[in-house]
Amino acid sequence: MPKRWSVLKNLINGCELKEDLFLSLINEDGVILSANANMQKTLHIKNPKEEAVSFYSFLHPEHITAFKAAIEQSRTQNTPSSAELYLKNGYYHPMKWQINYIENPGIGKGDFLCVGYKLLDDERLMQFNKLGEQNYQAIVEGLNAGVLFQDYNGELIAANKKAAEIYGTTLERLYQLTDIRKHWNESWEVCTEDGEKIDFDDTPFMRALGTGKAVAEVLCIKLRDGQRKHILYNSQPLFNAGETIPFSVVSNIVDVTREKTLSWEMQERDMLFRSFLEKTPTLSWVVDESATLLFASTSFYRYFGLKEEESVNKNILALIPSAVGEALHDKHLQVLETGVSLETIEKMKWSDGTNFVFHINLFPIQGIANKKMVGGHAVNMAEKFATEKKLREANERLLLLSRATTDAIWEWDMQTGYIFRNDALMDMVGYHAEDSKGLSWWLRRIHPEDRNRLSDIIKEATDKGQHSWEDQYRFKCADGTYKHVQDKGYVVYENGLPVKMIGSLQDITELKELEGQLVEEKLQRQKEISEMVIKVQEKERTRIGHELHDNVNQILSTAKLFMDMVTPSSADETTFKAKGIEYLVSAIEEIRKLSRELVVPHLKENGLVDSVKLLIEDISISSSLNIRFTHDHENELLSSGKKITLFRIVQEQMKNILKYSKAKQVDIYLECKDDNVHLTIKDDGVGFDPKQYHKGIGLSNIHDRTRFYNGIVDVQSSPGKGCTLNISIPTAD
């Protein structure tokens, strides 16, 4: 017993303390064993120890079953259970109860601690009791429909459990709601059937309060779990005796979501059915046991020259030609009697002598109340037979033509995927006729670089409704070699859709090879011309250099000798003589440098490396620039033209560095690697922004000389970070 009392004490202490809390201990039969003072006082219970009182006597009969189920759940699962019940205290009012099972050790039975509290505050309880005098049955016993009572401001006074179920919540949460207007307008998602958000003042219950008349409307409400429900509100204002202004409103609410869904589904099915009848090209119809036409496709009415409004519910035999009616009547009866579908081909001759061939399918349909109907659809096969005949004749002509010509011909049936290729085509690519496969077989043998382009061309032609296309591509033959082919295709359309493609193939391998040879010869010729131009330029530079060195410098040297022989007679003349000799020496030196730059170095004698070293020595004599030169000797195997080009690039870049960079250190790297000769010239000068820099004559010459030998120029620079020039030229000619 102490252990049991300890369990009771813990359960009671764990309850939320309220002044109006009800505590009761009952046995499995519902007899109250003990109750707290508030429960005894409120329900006028005598001392349970003196007089046995059943807890069920205070419950509304409608809720006894639910309470017993909660007790059984607590006992079998040994966990607390809850129930919302109406308890009788003069009037029935809503309360929430928590039931806890307490086992009696050694007995095998247990008792139940029931903890209850009111769901309404005192003010709303008074309103609830006032409504309960006249609406008791609607509030407590309303099981099939939800019931809501609201005051003049729309605040909830009372609701039944069905209303809570419709809203997907509990009575406790419903009664906790206050300021419903704010929730409705700001938080809840409520709209009309047309999807328009509805304001609180426009709700059925507020309109009923405002007009004093009943209002009914369906609203779509999004619940807490995201589910959307369609709820029918029937709101009725309530009046006190002798008053014309309602003091409250009662709303019966019904969940019509399922009905709305079914209605939409029916509408959608009807729309789909109507759309099918309108769009299907076949002649379709439905008749009943009396051969009365119930439905038919637009094609049916159009084919027989009928109007739907004048044909429905009329005997089909009176609507269609007698030849058709006679053919269908007996078969309709056969399907109605046997309940088995029937398929047939009927040849008919109309009164004007026209012959028709129809492929007909008839099938039974079971209607409401076991009404028997027959559905049917028919396809006019005459056009199909004529088309098939033309197609057979065309195929025969194509076969004869393919055998009679030496051209490579193919045909692609785009509906079946079958591709025909004649013997000439298969001989061209080296495959046997039995090796011929579908489109994917052919596409796999097209060169990967051409495959996607050809697919795109064909797709574009059919998408845009073009009647022909043409392309050249490489095809892998049976021996593994590629042939260049020119493919031309012609597209055949039916009803705007491509159904067939016919084409011819031509081997243009020799033509492509000749084109390639012409291109190579043209490039070689251009290269020879360019090389000749460079040689002429270098020859002219050498001639000018020698002319300056041998003639102009000799004249200047002679002039210097004459100046040396002049004897000044005054101090000013002495100064003039000294200045003149100084300028002559300077001119002689400048012309010597210029002639040395212009004259082609003797690369065959000195080699590229030695020539670059001599250039560096000359620069070092006339400037404070520190130059490091790193190289290998494999570059001596280069042609004389490439050696001259590399030397001129070094010469040109060093001239740029001396003129613009303000550099103190220059590194030159020359090496042969990966079938290329690499030249790098790096300085630590002021640098420049390549994006804002326009190539001058010097850098343009470097680009032109490098491009002539299919080389690559890369300039890396930025302000304050110096400049790096990278040159790469193939070693092979």
pTM strictly above 0.85:
no
Tell me the fold of 405-506. Beta-Lactamase (3.30.450)
pLDDT > 70 fraction of the chain, expressed in percent and rounded? 81
φ/ψ of 656, rounded to 5, equals -65, -40
For the segment 342-352, what is each residue's pLDDT rounded down to a tens digit? 988 877 665 55
Per-residue model confidence as pLDDT tens digits over 62-114:
778 888 899 899 988 888 888 887 777 666 678 888 999 888 776 667 889 99
In terms of DSSP bridges, do strands 626-631 and 665-673 run parallel, antiparallel, or are they unpaired? Answer: parallel
Query: How sure is the predictor about 2, in pLDDT bands with cuts at 50, 70 and 90?
Result: very low
- Measured CA to CA in angstroms, residue 384 lies from 321, 388, 389, 412, 706 at distances of 22, 6, 8, 20, 71
Which stretch, 121-135, 366-380, 675-689, has highest mean pLDDT?
675-689
Superfamily of domain 280-384: PAS domain (3.30.450.20)
Residue 643 in tokens? 């050696």
Q: pLDDT digits over 538-558, tens only?
A: 667 667 766 665 567 667 767
646, burial (CB in 10 Å: exposed 0-12, middle 13-18, buried 19+): buried
Q: Is the pLDDT score of 620 beyond 90? A: no
* Average pLDDT of the chain to the nearest whole number: 81
The H-or-E segment that residue 283 falls in is strand 283-288
Q: What is the pLDDT of residues 695-723, one digit of tens each?
A: 666 677 788 788 888 899 999 998 888 99
Bridge partner residues of 683 (DSSP)? 666, 723
The pLDDT assigned to 488 comes to 92
Mean pLDDT of 644-670: 88
Q: Which of 496, 498, 436, 503 is nearest to 473 (CA)?
A: 503
Mean pLDDT of 35-61: 83
Supply the pLDDT for residue 547. 66
List the one residue out of 595, 615, 614 whose CA is nearest residue 655: 615
Q: Is residue 399 very low, low, confident or very high in pLDDT (cuts 50, 70, 90)?
A: low
Mean pLDDT of 255-267: 85
Decide if pLDDT at 288 tops 50.
Answer: yes
The number of CA neighbours under 13 Å toward the Cβ of 442 is 21
Q: Using the predicted structure, report yes or no on whether residue 582 has a pLDDT greater than 70.
A: yes
Say what angle helices 571-598 and 509-547 make with each other, to 10 degrees: 160
Please tell me which residue, 119 or 502, carries the higher pLDDT value.
502
pLDDT in tens, 422-455: 888 888 888 876 666 788 888 889 999 999 999 8
603-730 has the same fold as 123-262: no
Closest alpha carbon to 75 in 64, 85, 67, 87: 67
Determine what percent of the chain is predicted with pLDDT higher than 90. 17
Q: Which residue has the higher pLDDT, 395 or 652?
A: 652
Domain edges within the chain:
2-118, 123-262, 280-384, 405-506, 508-600, 603-730
| Nearest alpha carbon to residue 33 among 107, 102, 80, 106 | 102
What's the pLDDT at 1? Answer: 46
At residue 272, the pLDDT reads: 84
Task: Look up the CATH superfamily of 603-730.
Answer: Histidine kinase-like ATPase, C-terminal domain (3.30.565.10)
Per CATH, the architecture of 2-118 is what? 2-Layer Sandwich (3.30)
- Residues 358-386, mean pLDDT to the nearest whole number: 80
pLDDT at 213: 92
**CATH architecture, range 123-262:** 2-Layer Sandwich (3.30)
Q: How does residue 148 score in pLDDT terms, banded at 50, 70 and 90?
A: confident
